[in-house]
Amino acid sequence: MTVLSVNLNKVALLRNARTLGIPSVTRAAGIAIAAGARGITVHPRPDGRHIRTEDVHALAALLKDHPGIEFNIEGNPFHSVIDLVRAVRPHQFTLVPDEPAAYTSDHGWNLARDGERLRPIIAAMKQLGIRVSLFMDPDVDAMRLAAALGADRVELYTEPYAAAYGTPREDAVLADYVAAAAAAVRAGLGLNAGHDLSQRNLGRLIAAIPAISEVSIGHALTAEALEDGLATTVRHYVRILHEAGQGRA
């Protein structure tokens, strides 16, 4: 079954608007875990606009008391996050090709251009026992390249799917993701997915691609939690994943 990893960036962004230390990133993590999340994701950026170095260490310490919960750190390995990953040794490092000033992640890796730069980083992370996932567009041909570089998984960048959901383009765009996922599985890669997923669009994606092991969701989940509460919102996502995996979504 697909599991939920809760991205806490937007919780940290709200916290950083004041100097009171609330909302607490670690408390949010604890609530999400108690409600059924099976992972915690953070994407620290060089400017510290949301998740900060001290948050990453605090979450790593918290998760030592939750051995069944995975810690996923996202980031561009060429922009300072690599030392933090080496220090913390999360379960998974998701390599994302965003620039330091990028508003948010908005594309996957161009492996024809960047693959050889990534190869030694992937190897080094795997030597530390860290699973490596590459943030990728739904490109069938790129899945073979990702596997050849030694990646364990790919995370499908799902913003185009989310944008097309509910429009006449939905079926065609989803078909691209299904094809890319099949190519990844053929290449021996595990599958993750994330970006702009929500309660509205998640079920169909998972029903169409049951091989997805993990979804990382932050922005929509945080926004929905403002209305319904964090624990309730996490439980809603876990239910959607369960029902989609059972073929009922």
- Determine the 3-state secondary structure of 221 from DSSP: helix
Contact 212, 193 (CB under 8 A): yes
How many domains does one find in the chain?
A: 1
Domain of 77 in residue numbering reads as 3-245
Instruction: List beta partners, residue 117.
Output: none
Instruction: Based on DSSP, count helices (H) and strands (E) in the chain, helices before strands.
Output: 11, 8
Q: Give pLDDT, residue 249.
A: 46
Rounded Cα gap, residues 180 and 68, in angstroms: 29
Contact call for residues 224 and 233 (beta carbons, < 8 A): yes
pTM of the model: 0.94
- Catalytic position from the list 70, 74, 155, 214: 74
Rounded CA gap, 35 and 52, in Å?
A: 24
Catalytic site includes residue 57: no
What pLDDT, on a 0 to 100 scale, did the predictor assign at position 82? Answer: 95
Q: What is the pLDDT of residue 179?
A: 98
213 phi/psi in degrees, rounded to 5? -85, -35
Calculate the alpha carbon distances from 159 to 106, 163, 200, 219 in Å. 8, 6, 13, 12
- Residue of 195, 214, 224, 236 marked active site: 195
Q: Strands 131-136, 92-95: parallel, antiparallel or unpaired by DSSP?
A: parallel
Spatial contact of 139 and 108, defined as CB atoms under 8 Å apart:
yes
Q: What is the pLDDT along the chain (249 residues), one digit of tens a residue?
A: 999 999 999 999 999 999 999 999 999 999 999 999 999 999 999 888 999 999 999 999 999 999 999 999 999 999 889 999 999 999 999 999 987 666 676 689 999 999 999 999 999 999 999 999 999 999 999 999 999 999 999 999 999 999 999 999 999 999 999 999 999 999 999 999 999 999 999 999 999 999 999 999 999 999 999 999 999 999 999 999 999 987 654
pLDDT of residue 247: 64
What DSSP state is assigned to residue 183? Answer: H
The CATH number given to whatever domain includes residue 183 is 3.20.20.70
Would you state the pLDDT for residue 166?
97
Is 195 an annotated catalytic residue? yes
